[in-house]
A = this chain, B = another copy of it.
Amino acid sequence: MKKPARSVVQGLAALFFVLLLTACAGVQTTSDPLPSWTNGDPKHRIVNFVSRVTDSSSTSFVPANERIATFDNDGTLWSEKPTYFQLLFILERVKVMADDHPEWSDTQPFKAVIEDDWTTLKAAGVHGLADLAMATQADITTQEFQSTVKGWAENSRHPVTGKLYTEMVFQPMLELIDYLKANDFKVFIVSGGGLEFMRPWTEAVYGIPPDQVVGSSFETRYEVRDGKPVLVQESKMHFLNDKGDKPVAINRFIGQRPILAAGNSDGDFEMLEWTTAGDGERLGLLVHHTDASREWAYDRESSEGRLNRGLDEAGNKGWLLIDMARDWQVIYPGDSGE
């Protein structure tokens, strides 16, 4: 009887050894990491890129601590129509605050906001918008502002879709972020949007922690009020994170050149140019909004997310142009695929 007993013991030992290895190494699955992406060239290029830079036997191998990926936000990770969501937030704030500011009823661009006069509002341009932003954000502590943003993110709904704004993020991009993180990439947002506007919800929505969110900012001062220190936003821009200043901010906040960058507008051109000009294997992605039925279709003439130079030069630069209608089977989380 000894022999059979021993072989049972040996069999069990072998089984447990396999279990041990499996449990500790993590189960390798072969399931599709990008299920919302159509099987086609963009998806294959992304998967091939990630496979090569993570394969230590490849000449394209990149050590984990250099696997930096940067994503624009507006139009790249979530929608930006009928206009930038941060602008819709600001307009909402102006209306809420108007009762305490009777002078706004005959001062532009505030009057235009209160009267939903979009012609005047669009004509007010960047400076008009900056006035609105400062009026609604200045002299407020960062903590007060963060809780205002949180309330907006949890309750306000998009005028066209009726969804929460944070439900209008792109499912394929959520999968791409998760896929990169699972392959030891450190993923950053590098957006023209405000730091203080993004950070209250980006960790919950994208799984990207606050210190990996780079954006525009106001001057801020430290103050001790009644023995309690606070940070107060001032009515002066500190940094506008757009175009050639995106690589500047990447250098300042991240300190390494990304190996992958994704954007959707000419405001992201220099970020992709800087990223893909580095040595070794690099990937630049541009989301082309081509889907008028499920999202919006726009490019060269749009006042949000204008994509003109990027469309002309993507081919020469080797950047991957993502055709939303063709390459994404699902747009928003919870949507059914085509």
Q: Are B252 and A217 in contact (CB under 8 A)?
A: yes
Instruction: Report the nearest B residue to A10, measured CB to CB.
Output: B12
Answer yes or no: A167 CB below 8 A from chain B CBs.
no
A270 contacts the other chain (CB 8 A):
yes
Say whether B212 contacts A211, CB under 8 Å: yes
Chain B residues positioned under 8 Å from A270 (CB to CB): 222, 229
Roughly how many angstroms separate A212 CA and B256 CA in the complex, as a whole number? 11
Minimal Cβ-Cβ distance residue in B for A223: B244
Q: How far is the CA of A16 from the CA of B19 in the complex (A)?
A: 9
Nearest B residue to A227 via CB reads: B277
**Count of A interface residues, CB-CB < 8 Å:** 50
Q: Which of B186, B228, B245, B273 contacts A277 (CB 8 A)?
A: B228
Q: Does A27 contact B (CB under 8 A)?
A: no
Closest CB in chain B relative to A1 CB, distance in Å: 4
Contact with B along A218-236 (1 / 0, CB 8 A): 0011101000110100000
In the complex, chain B residues whose CB is within 8 Å of the CB of A188: 211
Is A254 among interface residues, defined by CB-CB distance under 8 A?
yes
What sequence of 0s and 1s flags, for each residue 1-28 of chain A, a beta carbon within 8 Å of any chain B beta carbon?
1101100110011001101100110000
